[in-house]
Amino acid sequence: MQNKDRQSIAVIISKAERKYQQGLLEGICKSAYAKDMNVVVFSTSLLEGSEEHQRGETQIFDLINYDKFAGVVYAGGSFYGKDYTRILEQKMLEVSATGKPVVVVDSIVEGLPCYFNDDANALMDIIEHFVVEHGLEDIAFMTGFHGNPHAENAVKAYKSIMEQHELEVSEDHIYYGDYWYNAGDSFVEQLIGSQKGPPEAIVCVNEHMAISVYQALHKRGIYVPKHIRLACTANDASYAPYLLVGENSCANVGYAACESIFCMLRGEEVKKEVKFFPCKNVLRTNLGCGCQKTSAYDYSKDRGIMIDTDPGFFGEFNFDRGEMLAKKNYAELFREFDHYTRYIGGFKEFYMCLCDGWDSPHFLIQDTRENPYTDLMQLYYSRKETANGPQVFIGENQFFPKEEMLPNLFDASDEPSLFLFRALHFLDRNYGYIVLNNGHSFKTHDIVLNYWLHDVVCGLESQCRLQSVNYMFYTDIMTGLYNRNGFNTMLPDIIADAQEKRKQIMLVMADLNRLKKINDTYGHKEGDFAITEGAHLLQGQKMPGAEYEKNFRIGGDEYVKIAVGEFNEQMAREFREKLYKTAKEVSYRIEKPYRLEMSVGFCYGEMPTMESLESSLAIADNFMYMEKQRLKSENPV
């Protein structure tokens, strides 16, 4: 018998699609699935580009309701931005202080268990390959940040392996880098300026630093492998395809991190210390060591960003961005979104949750940086893959509290699943987020999702800007009603819709009584106030029998309400009397020296053409004039 809810482990990570991160998630999932728990991943893509883009990516972490999770794995080593990692580290400490189990992977957060992969085996394989296969003796080494446990452990392993082969270790041939692309130049300068001069080979502790070293060497006319050999340990060998690579898999670290969470949940003590776990590694020989010969390749033009995915998304027949930008409304746009989800693949369920008011014309001017998600979120799109084909929902009525993150996220299904949350943002303007349910899997997604998300958010931003322009063109700014441009543009569509549905059209003409006297006596500011209140009165009073209605200000104090539905004269009279009564109540409430009063005329029926609608407008206008005369005679002051 299933429990109502299934507990879940939260994973905070960056670039979840990368091979190393996938290995980490594989280990976490193996551990969690064995305990019948879901794994819920909150991830960013590359945290590069503008500050606004980086801020938009990291807003997904503001969504997490930690109370909903049994424990948290923080993959700190997958983040490179120091400012934001400090924020996350502080949050992890706060979460831990509530009694929630938190384990850190590949990073140091004082006061929490911190687990690292051990590169010693990969370094041993690389150095032994250089020594045994190529007869090299002078091998320099580039590690990570000074004082970082992973970097220091790698230096210790390097020295130990060199000593095992009775090779000299020179301190000026050891360099502390930054795990990124910024330190290659200074390291190469240090090697060239050393007493021994450049070494025979260089080994870096990750692929990013190896690429920066390659670029620095190439810039100085030192070529690999002609003048020097180059190798690295790597999380993902595909990002350094021409180098000798000892590729790591860190499933053991992920598994150990998740198992430690379960130990804490059982009340067992888990020491808050740094621990290293051996990782499986594969040595891949290539151009960097000289084992493979190839024509000259200028790797300095690369930063290791490669696309090795389903060519469908990147094929010549993928026009998704252009198609999305060309859509005229949100309904068409979301149908296009659904059409192109086939490029993502691998999911059981797909959800798009949007902020309340995301389709408002005012959304573009809202500052969402402090509060990127609204208290109520809207599940606007979902797609579920079933044996009978996909079930697709596109709609506007499914709202849920932000604290839930996703309706039914924690409901028990047949087996535990892997969920992925990603932010849906344009720069730092957050539209919402997407959620993938990948089922009982270890894999979140591949790089295609990053490009797909970019195209989708460009489509949303384009449509939002288009609707904003339309709003300004079709809307009376003072009252918020549609203006005469909107009236002339929308009439043909309203008539066509009524014809298709075999419905009637109700036309209501209304204007304010004694507006000229208000302007002349109290000024045009009060006149504008009266016009705005009149618009609110008309908009707030709904026509009985209407399926939908639209309200327009077509002149100074002239208004039109057009409703589509089934009507009779009793409904129209009821509407008019309620409007008059509400106007009287508003007059008392606003405490103005004048009285708000409106005159209303109406006409309804089937109106198959513009000509018949225009004649009906004339009838409604005539009734309104007669009503105005009646009210003036009854209330001369």
DSSP 367-428: --SS--S-SEEEEEEEEEEETTEEEEEE-S--EEEGGGSSTTTTB--SS--EEEEEEEEETT
Q: What is the mean pLDDT of residues 498-507?
A: 91
Q: What is the mean pLDDT of residues 326-333?
A: 80
Predicted TM-score (pTM) of the model is 0.79
| pLDDT grade for 636, boundaries at 50, 70 and 90 | low
Q: What is the CATH number of domain 475-634?
A: 3.30.70.270
**Angstrom distances, CA of residue 432 to CA of 153, 301, 402, 425, 549:** 41, 36, 11, 7, 29
pLDDT of residue 326: 77
- Please, what is the average pLDDT of the chain? 87
pLDDT of residue 319: 64
Give tens-digit pLDDT for 97-144. 999 999 999 999 999 999 998 888 889 999 999 999 999 999 999 999
Name the segment(s) of the chain with CATH classification 3.30.70.270. Answer: 475-634
B/e letters for 410-442, b = 16+ CB within 10 Å, e = fewer, are bebeeebbbbbbbbbbbebbbbbbbbbbbbebb
Q: Which residue in 250, 248, 213, 254 sits closest to 234, CA to CA? A: 248
Q: What is the mean pLDDT of residues 611-629?
A: 82
pLDDT of residue 55: 86
Q: 17 pairs with which residues across the strands?
A: none
CA distance 277 to 152: 15
Determine which of 234-248, 260-274, 559-573 has the lowest per-residue pLDDT on average: 234-248
CATH architecture of 117-250+274-301: 3-Layer(aba) Sandwich (3.40)
pLDDT of residue 308: 41
pLDDT of residue 283: 80
Determine which of 468-472, 496-500, 559-563, 578-582 has the lowest per-residue pLDDT on average: 468-472
**Angstrom distances, CA of residue 350 to CA of 269, 321, 396, 435:** 39, 20, 17, 6
| pLDDT grade for 315, boundaries at 50, 70 and 90 | low
Name the segment(s) of the chain with CATH classification 3.40.50.2300. Answer: 117-250+274-301
Give tens-digit pLDDT for 445-489. 777 888 888 888 888 888 888 888 888 889 998 999 999 999 998
